[in-house]
Chains A and B, each alone.
Chain A
């Protein structure tokens, strides 16, 4: 007689269900790929920022326009006050120059491009009026791979995807089976809990491998992101991250009886981390008061460790406290969900 292995069959069932659901495949692999490509292109080799400068329409305007137009990094226009105020409000103009005995710069200092435009316009106008530099300066530009925005972004996207994939993959699957009363039916068989949970975690790890390859591959092949660390260390971190978030997903799903409930719970867990954990911009930007909390979030731990290993070539051992904390984020929710799990 043929021998059957429940863990193998359960895992196969999960794999089949996943691969037969085109939408799930897209959200797991296609979406992160598009995001990496889109963001990468948007931030790659940005040309010198073009500043849109408006000059107020009056007698001395042509003089200002002539001086600014000599530079190719300004787009200059002349408008009446009512018009430039509207343009400034809509963000069509970064800066407005009102000529006069005192030149007035009108701009919103909280917009970085406006503040930059003010400095550059002022520099051009002051030089034209005869100002001399008192210190000699030279520029050394940093554009080598490893320190660009795209290099920062790719490990963050990887971390974010490991989180989303695991939480949805495990949480959604459990609640879907509960809604269908399939969990109850499975509980009526001799299937062991260990096999069931291992199949969820195992299938998650299998789905994770192509995810890792797609995102890293995009970074390396399309943007020339350097991989300075050990690939085994990267793989180990990805496995750990996927398992930890699978534990959190299981906790979110352990009692939820409706898809809406588990969706809400998972968004409560994930949305703050999308913002705080340094996926798209550094988490150092948040106030110091929040830093201990932010640094302890699982996605922050994973993103920081991935960046250290991928971009700086740090050995896994140097990330040991992050690895341990991340494992804790997986084990504690897993333990709690075992305790609270509802089959019916």
Chain B
């Protein structure tokens, strides 16, 4: 049996023609004691048919609120949303039939087996994938008869994704699909998501892991404080930094190195000075590293650590906001 063949055919042609998701000037406010909180604050987005699109941002950036509005689970305070050319409130059943959704945290009934949960979810859709096929697809065949309560975190997450796939969706929404999972489970999920993407259908996911966005997504929107602050393919976003490499170093405490002196070094495009740690974005590390070492020597600075690596989306985020993506202490208000 070819579980995904049926869905892939009809969709790719139509899917690539029109955007899968389009939203304009989206806002969502929640009341709170200190006045309204703007979880989403004028967000524009266009997700193309057939692409894997990532919303990347720190906790509290408004990713989940945004994706739940797109999924029709939350009503926006204002703004316009179109999904698969349809609108929530008018074509709900049609949309529900065509979307696959995995929420940030869902606990399925502990005392039902994997197969029973998937059979239940399959029954809601007019057409879809056989439960046994989707179980195989997510690698849970050995656990098909096991109760949900006995599954590991990674297996539960694969079950959640399987529930999203069992309706053979044209558009798959995944909210933080790998948060809190061990590296092996994350890689397994990435494989499942990539396999779905290869069938030509559309994926929209949120994540605060930049490696996840870099590996999975064709395009990424960096979201901060309810707005899109950067948009493009991971490569484009990285290129926008001006250099492809990062040099990170730290010196003995008390060493005075003014950013201006660092910016003046050859091939340095950007300087981010943190607590003790300094990161330089450079286009040519083989030029910048000797120059940096020369500067340190001239100042009599004692070097503790020096590394070079490729620029990541994390650096893009830092560059744009001055904050770390996963810095739990610096949540936007």
A6 touches B124 (CB 8 A): yes
Q: Kindly supply a per-residue 1/0 record for chain B positions 115-148, scoring 1 wherever the CB is within 8 Å of any chain A CB and 0 otherwise.
A: 0100111111111001000000000000000010
**A-chain residues with CB within 8 Å of residue B130 when the two chains form the complex:** 1-2
Q: Which residues of B contact A21 (CB under 8 A)?
A: 111
Chain A contact residue count (CB 8 A cutoff): 25
Asked if B109 contacts A182 (CB within 8 A), the reply is yes
Q: Report if A189 contacts B (CB, 8 A).
A: yes
Partner of B71, one of A16, A182, A188, A191: A188
Contact B103 A17 (CB under 8 A): no
The stretch of A7-15, A76-84, A128-136, A242-250 in contact with B is: A7-15
Chain B: residues with Cβ within 8 Å of the partner, total of 31
In B72-125, the 8 Å CB interface with A consists of 72-74, 93, 96-97, 99, 101, 103, 105-109, 111-112, 116, 119-125
Chain A neighbourhood of B124, CB < 8 A: 6, 189-191
**B107 touching A184, Cβ below 8 Å:** no
- Once the chains bind, are A182 and B108 in contact (CB under 8 Å)? yes
- When the two chains form their complex, are residues A184 and B73 in contact, meaning their CB atoms are under 8 A apart? yes
In angstroms, Cα B103 to Cα A181, docked, is 9
Residues of A within 8 Å of B107, CB to CB, are: 180-182
Does A184 lie within 8 Å of B103, measured CB to CB?
Answer: yes
Question: Is A185 positioned at the interface, with any CB of B under 8 Å from its CB?
Answer: yes
What is the minimal beta-carbon distance from A21 to any residue of chain B, in angstroms?
7
Kindly state whether residue B325 has any CB partner on chain A within 8 Å: no
Residues of chain A contacted by B73 (CB below 8 angstroms): 184, 187-188, 344
Q: Mark A297-332, 1 if CB is under 8 A from B, else 0.
A: 000000000000000000000000000000000000
Contact flag A9-B120 (CB < 8 Å), given A187-B73, A188-B96: yes
A293 within 8 A of B: no
User: Are the CB atoms of A16 and B112 closer together than 8 Å?
Assistant: yes
A188–B101 touching, CB < 8 Å: yes
**Is A339 an interface position by the 8 A CB rule?**
no
Which chain A residue shows the least CB distance to B117? A13
Q: Return chain B residues, CB-CB under 8 Å to A20.
A: 111, 147
B167 close to chain A: CB less than 8 A: yes
Complex: A138 Cα to B97 Cα, angstroms: 80
- In the complex, the chain A residue whose C-beta lies closest to that of B164 is A188
Tell me the A residues contacting B by CB distance below 8 Å.
Answer: 1-2, 4-6, 8-10, 12-13, 16-17, 20-21, 180-182, 184-185, 187-191, 344
**20 other contacts beyond A12-B120, A181-B106, A181-B107, with CB at 8 A cut-off?**
A1-B127, A4-B123, A6-B123, A8-B123, A10-B120, A13-B112, A13-B120, A16-B111, A16-B112, A16-B116, A20-B111, A180-B108, A185-B106, A188-B72, A188-B101, A189-B96, A189-B101, A190-B93, A190-B96, A190-B125
